[in-house]
A = this chain, B = another copy of it.
């Protein structure tokens, strides 16, 4: 047990709420989760404590009280040794569910410790989309062994799913759907559900009404089926259907679900035929992931994964820092041109970073707003010119406000009206350039079908650094010296 764990344990024990509880098995889940359903740090300590004492029975009891989502969460808080002790506590179905919940790097680690046969049994418990997701993380030989050990139908379903590109609708969909012709009645449909059993998905929310060529022509929520009388025909209750094409990017799928408040949607192939369905519970994760990707991309960092080591984390951040070293050095070279001016008036060296810094911040603001608007499809050719003009105006307005503030501050400190004029003009120019690059760069990247969140910050920071130094020092050379 590390020192931090010991500290936490200490705290856990003094925590009145747990101290006097008898910890009967039925209380364990309450103990494990906070009011917001997040795992309690104190519970993690209890697990570590049991593992340290070698108390396998207690460990099994603690892990057994958790839902599989919480076991996956728990594993993220443990180190590799403790994780390995958890795995034998899980039955085949829980193991499968935990695997499908785990972050990629943890999952790869856990997969290494499970035998191909045990893995095959576990994967058979999952829906084809979730199972394919796990198999995708297996390397060459082990993947072959696991697939060989699986039931033939399950194997075929996984292989078909993996044939679609990563991050497309084909990967997210499950093949099992509830479909019916429009002349069926509600009663016939319900009877079909009662007998079809395994051919239907575990959970479903809509029945898709299809034509003889198996093309969706409408949909009805199953709560509508329940409301209607058994004699009602599906044609009477069906509404319009929002189809997803099998090669649609998952981010677009997320946009469509969010826009139309969909619970499930039919997936169609190039011929318009129904091949599966996507349900909203998978989309919630996609929307969460896409938002997180944008946050990390704007900060110039890729996700090294939960519990990654120092080297992996350092490596995930270096590319952007190295590129930034180049752009920062390039921007600084502008200062080199004005060495003589700085030597004459060192005050310039004090004020120039303020101009660059404020420009950088204003550029980041514009950029974040533009990236968000592009992601939510609120910015496109319809309003691009209007938004660009607005950003330019905002740059001038805020440049003007900051010019007055910094001008006044400069006068208070240096009593030099021409220096005030210089920094004021430089700020207006740099905030204008910040606005312009903050909106044009993401629009251009989007036009080129590149992710606007990924490389925009590099360009924008370079522009505002470069222009900050150039405008301030250049104006100083003209006005002051």
A residues adjacent to B (C-beta < 8 A): 2-4, 7-8, 11, 35-39, 41, 44-45, 67, 69, 73, 76-77, 190, 193-194, 197, 200, 203-205, 221-223, 225-229, 240, 242, 245, 248-249, 252, 255-263, 279-285, 287-288, 290-292, 294-296, 298-301, 303, 306, 309-311, 313-314, 317-318, 320-322, 324-325, 328-329, 331-333, 335-336, 339, 342-343, 346-347, 349-354, 356-358, 361-362, 364-365, 367-369, 371-372, 376-378, 380-386, 389-391, 393-394, 397-398, 401-402, 405-406, 409, 461, 465, 469
Write the nearest CB–CB distance from A250 to chain B, whole angstroms.
Answer: 11
A263 lies within 8 A of B205 (CB): yes
Given contacts A263-B280, A390-B310, contact A361 B320 (CB under 8 A): yes
- Chain B residue nearest in CB terms to A205: B205
Residue in B262, B306, B351, B368 whose CB lies within 8 Å of A301: B368
Write the nearest CB–CB distance from A64 to chain B, whole angstroms.
Answer: 14
B242 lies within 8 A of A261 (CB): no
Residue in B205, B255, B298, B335 whose CB lies within 8 Å of A299: B298
Given contacts A321-B402, A381-B8, A385-B7, contact A261 B287 (CB under 8 A): no
B328 lies within 8 A of A339 (CB): no
B325 lies within 8 A of A406 (CB): yes
A203 lies within 8 A of B223 (CB): yes
B354 lies within 8 A of A325 (CB): yes
Given contacts A37-B255, A288-B287, A381-B8, contact A317 B362 (CB under 8 A): yes
24 A-B contacts, Cβ less than 8 Å apart?
A41-B381, A44-B382, A76-B378, A193-B227, A197-B227, A203-B263, A204-B223, A284-B287, A292-B372, A292-B376, A295-B371, A296-B372, A298-B368, A303-B369, A321-B365, A321-B401, A322-B401, A325-B405, A332-B351, A332-B354, A335-B350, A335-B353, A349-B352, A353-B353
Given contacts A259-B69, A263-B281, A376-B292, contact A242 B353 (CB under 8 A): no
A307 to B238, CA, bound (A): 36
A364 — which chain B residues lie within 8 A by C-beta? 299-300
Residue in B281, B402, B465 whose CB lies within 8 Å of A353: B465
A133 to B181, CA, bound (A): 39
A229 — which chain B residues lie within 8 A by C-beta? 194
- Chain B residue nearest in CB terms to A389: B4
Given contacts A280-B280, A291-B287, A349-B335, contact A369 B296 (CB under 8 A): yes
A38 — which chain B residues lie within 8 A by C-beta? 255, 377, 380
- Chain B residue nearest in CB terms to A245: B35
Given contacts A353-B465, A358-B324, A386-B4, contact A223 B245 (CB under 8 A): no
A221 to B320, CA, bound (A): 47
A1 to B282, CA, bound (A): 43
Which of A296, A335, A393 gathers most chain B CB within 10 Å?
Answer: A335
- Chain B residue nearest in CB terms to A264: B263
A263 lies within 8 A of B260 (CB): no
A313 — which chain B residues lie within 8 A by C-beta? 390-391, 394
B465 lies within 8 A of A357 (CB): yes
Apart from A38-B255, A299-B367, what 13 extra A-B contacts exist at CB < 8 Å? A7-B385, A37-B259, A193-B227, A283-B284, A287-B287, A310-B397, A311-B397, A314-B397, A317-B362, A324-B361, A329-B406, A335-B349, A353-B469
A291 to B372, CA, bound (A): 10
A309 — which chain B residues lie within 8 A by C-beta? 390
- Chain B residue nearest in CB terms to A228: B194
A225 — which chain B residues lie within 8 A by C-beta? 226
A257 — which chain B residues lie within 8 A by C-beta? 284
Write the nearest CB–CB distance from A476 to chain B, whole angstroms.
Answer: 13
A262 — which chain B residues lie within 8 A by C-beta? 281
A353 — which chain B residues lie within 8 A by C-beta? 328, 331-332, 335, 352-353, 356, 465, 469
B263 lies within 8 A of A321 (CB): no
- Chain B residue nearest in CB terms to A323: B361
A357 — which chain B residues lie within 8 A by C-beta? 324, 328, 331, 461, 465
B378 lies within 8 A of A260 (CB): no
A300 to B300, CA, bound (A): 17
B394 lies within 8 A of A310 (CB): yes
Leading 5 A-B pairs by shortest Cβ distance:
A291-B291, A299-B368, A4-B385, A261-B281, A41-B381
